[in-house]
Amino acid sequence: EGVEMVMPGDNVQMTVTLICPVAMEDGLRFAIREGGRTVGAGVVAKIIE
């Protein structure tokens, strides 16, 4: 908790709230993009809702 920035090579666990519905399942790989650049990537560990 309280982590505001991570650097390349760091690992974090986070909860994300999507602004529109997207079909997902556990184990799905995803990328986080900002301004046309990939700024993060990960794997869905658990679906909460």
- Domains of the chain in start order, with CATH, are 1-49 (2.40.30.10)
pLDDT at 44: 95
Measured on CA atoms in the order 4, 38, 27, 10, is the torsion positive or negative? negative
pLDDT at 3: 86
How far apart CA 18 and CA 16 sit, in angstroms, is: 6
Q: What is the DSSP secondary-structure string of the chain?
A: -------TT---------SS-----TT-EEEEEETTEEEEEEE------
pLDDT digits (tens, 9 = 90+) for 8-23: 899 999 999 999 999 9
Q: What is the pTM of this model?
A: 0.74
